[in-house]
Amino acid sequence: MEVTFNGIAAGFLLTLIAGMATTVGSIIAFFTKSSSSKFLAWALGFSAGVMIYISFVELLAGANHNLQTSFGKSGGVYALLAFFGGIIISLAIDRLIPEYENPHEVRKVEEMEHPAKNKKLLRSGFFFAFAMALHNFPEGMATFVASLDNPATGISIAVAIAIHNIPEGITVSVPIYHATGSKKQAFMISSLSGLAEPFGALIAFLFLMPFLSATLLSLLFACVAGVMVFISFDELLPLAEAYGEHHKTIYGFILGMLVMALTLL
């Protein structure tokens, strides 16, 4: 397949925009007084709906069709192996992070008040930011790979990831601020954790582009679908539920699927 410079540049730009949404979360944490639990639950549910619909209807289905066209029925097996391989990769990354440092725990804007300024918390704060960056890494790869074949799909994934990176920015900023007492340092570290997205795109570019073909791209699409399904069920939906707005989460989830269904017509 032919991959153009503009397609590569667009892929990097999309991952950068998605990653920098953590900066938006930091700004919200520093300049607002309270979290909008209803909005965050709805937005995270919407993001999960977008990612799951794209994963099954666009990426996995397309990969399955292309691989079966090339390899017959065994192509469907290859697609399934790549899909569950993506889930296993995400699961492995998740298991690398100790449970007490896992970034799935919700932090709210209200917690920004009265920082402890306890230097003993600094190591935990940095490790927390690193854990978030590790979670963001495969998301950057997913956005970049998807945008190479279809920029519209890449944009949809980037928007979904950007939405869920906003509360992640809050989640990173709160413990760093409590560890250092410095809003500037919390802002910088939160922003840096988002750079894992374009870094994931860079790794995908350096190691995959020399071997890119229609078959490899189809396998990557199936793998990306697995990554996004895992992210949705392991991160987005539990995080949305943690804001205590179950029905808002479900409404957002359904709306996200509906929007993508209409977009892909």
Predicted confidence (pLDDT) at residue 35 exceeds the cutoff of 70 = no
Predicted confidence (pLDDT) at residue 100 exceeds the cutoff of 50 = no
Structure tokens that stand for 74 in this block: 């065994």
Q: Please state the rounded mean pLDDT for residues 125-130.
A: 65
Q: Please state the rounded mean pLDDT for residues 26-38.
A: 71
Percent of the chain with pLDDT over 70: 82
- The span from the CA of 245 to the CA of 29, in Å, is 20
Average pLDDT, rounded, for the chain? 80
The pLDDT tens digits for 204-255 are 888 877 887 889 888 988 998 998 899 889 888 887 887 777 888 899 999 9
Question: Using an 8 Å Cβ cutoff, are 217 and 145 in contact?
Answer: yes
Question: Using an 8 Å Cβ cutoff, are 86 and 140 in contact?
Answer: no
Residue 105: pLDDT band (50, 70, 90) is low
Question: Using an 8 Å Cβ cutoff, are 17 and 158 in contact?
Answer: yes
Q: In what helix (H) or strand (E) does residue 43 lie, and over which residues does it extend? A: helix 37-53
What pLDDT, on a 0 to 100 scale, did the predictor assign at position 29?
Answer: 72
Tell me the three state secondary structure of residue 98: coil
Q: Please state the rounded mean pLDDT for residues 115-122.
A: 54
Residue 82: pLDDT band (50, 70, 90) is very high
Radius of gyration of the chain (CA): 18
Predicted confidence (pLDDT) at residue 128 exceeds the cutoff of 70 = no
Predicted confidence (pLDDT) at residue 169 exceeds the cutoff of 70 = yes
Residue with tokens 């709210």: 108
- The span from the CA of 90 to the CA of 92, in Å, is 5
Give the Å distances, CA to CA, from 49 to 15, 161, 258. Answer: 19, 11, 8
Predicted confidence (pLDDT) at residue 174 exceeds the cutoff of 80 = no
Pick the closest to residue 135 from 163, 105, 102 (CA basis): 102
Structure tokens that stand for 172 in this block: 């990173």
Buried b / exposed e across 10-43, counting CB within 10 Å, b at 16+?
A: bbbebbbbbbbbbbbbbbbbbeeeebebeebbbb
Give the Å distances, CA to CA, from 247 to 43, 47, 56, 92. Answer: 12, 15, 23, 31
Give the residue extent of every domain in the chain.
5-263
- The span from the CA of 64 to the CA of 49, in Å, is 21
Would you tell me the crossing angle of helices 196-208 and 183-194 to the nearest 10 degrees?
A: 30
Q: Considering only residues 12 and 133, tell me which one the structure prediction assigns the higher pLDDT.
A: 12
The pLDDT tens digits for 137-152 are 777 888 888 887 778 8
Q: Considering only residues 100 and 237, tell me which one the structure prediction assigns the higher pLDDT.
A: 237
Residue 60: pLDDT band (50, 70, 90) is very high
- The span from the CA of 20 to the CA of 190, in Å, is 9
